[in-house]
Amino acid sequence: MSGKSFVLSEDWVVVILGLGIIALALFGVIVPVPKFGWSNGSELSEKVLSMQNLGAMGLQFLLVYGTAIVGAVLLKKSVKALLIVFPIIYALTVLALILAGNVGVKSFNLEAVIFSLAIGLIISNFFKLPSWFKEALSTELYVKVGLVLLGTTVIFGDILKAGSLGLVQALVVVVSVWYFAFWICKKLKIDKEMSLMLSSAVSICGVSAAIATSGAIQGDNKKLSYVISLVLITAVPMMIFMPYMAEWMGLSQEVTGAWLGGSIDTTGAVAASGTLVGEEALKISTIVKFSQNVLLGIAAFFISIYWTYSKSVDEETKRDKPTFKLIWERFPKFVVGFVFVSLLFSFVISPEVNAGIKDSLKSLQGLWFALAFTSIGLETNFKDLFVQENKKPLYAFLIAQTFNIVVTLILAYTLFG
Q: List per-residue pLDDT tens for the chain, 417 residues long.
A: 444 555 678 889 999 999 999 999 999 999 999 999 999 989 999 999 999 999 999 999 999 999 999 999 999 888 999 999 999 999 999 999 999 899 888 766 567 877 887 898 899 888 888 989 988 888 878 888 988 888 887 666 655 655 677 778 888 888 899 999 999 999 998 888 888 888 888 887 776 677 667 766 766 666 776 787 777 777 778 877 888 888 899 888 889 888 988 888 776 677 777 877 888 888 888 888 877 776 766 676 677 667 665 544 444 445 555 556 666 666 667 778 888 888 898 889 988 998 899 999 999 998 998 898 888 788 877 666 555 566 888 899 999 999 999 999 999 888 887
C-alpha to C-alpha distance for 357 and 22, rounded to whole angstroms: 9
For Cα atoms 405, 211, 320, give the angle at the middle one, nearest 5 degrees: 120
At residue 2, the pLDDT reads 46
Give me the residue spans of the domains in the chain. 10-416
Q: What are residue 102's DSSP bridge partners? A: 38
C-alpha to C-alpha distance for 267 and 290, rounded to whole angstroms: 8
* Whole-structure pTM value: 0.69
Largest CA distance in the chain: 71
Looking at residue 332, its amino acid is: P
- Return the closest-CA partner of residue 373 out of 240, 283, 259: 240
Looking at residue 345, its amino acid is: F
At residue 320, the pLDDT reads 54
For the chain, the C-alpha Rg in angstroms (whole number) is 21
Number of H helices, E strands in the chain: 19, 0
Q: How many CB atoms lie within 10 A of CB 345?
A: 23
At residue 45, the pLDDT reads 92
At residue 158, the pLDDT reads 58
Whether residue 177 contacts residue 401, with contact meaning beta carbons closer than 8 Å, is answered with no
Q: How many CB atoms lie within 10 A of CB 172?
A: 17
C-alpha to C-alpha distance for 166 and 227, rounded to whole angstroms: 25
DSSP 8-class letter at 265: S
